[in-house]
Amino acid sequence: MSEKQNMLESRPYNAADPELLQERNRARELLKKLNFTSPQDAALRAQLQKELLPNAAEDLHIEYPFFCDYGAQIYTGKNVFINFNCTILDCAQVEIGDNTLIGPNVQIYTATHPLQPQKRLEGLESAQKVRIGKNVWLGGGCIILPGVWVGDNAVVAAGAVVTRDVAPNTVVAGSPAKIIRRFLG
Q: Which amino acids are annotated catalytic?
A: 113
User: How far apart are alpha carbons 119 and 177 in whole angstroms?
Assistant: 29
- Which residues lie closer than 8 Å to 14 by C-beta, 6 or more apart? 3, 20, 123, 124
**Contact, 66 vs 96, CB < 8 A?**
no
CA torsion 58-63-65-70 (nearest 10°) is -30
Q: What is the DSSP letter of 65?
A: P
User: How far apart are alpha carbons 27 and 179 in whole angstroms?
Assistant: 36
| 3-class state of residue 131 by DSSP | strand
- Which residues lie closer than 8 Å to 3 by C-beta, 6 or more apart? 13, 14, 15, 17, 19, 20
* Number of alpha carbons in the 13 Å side-chain half-sphere of residue 172: 28
* Sheet containing strand 111-112, strands side by side: 13-14, 124-127, 111-112
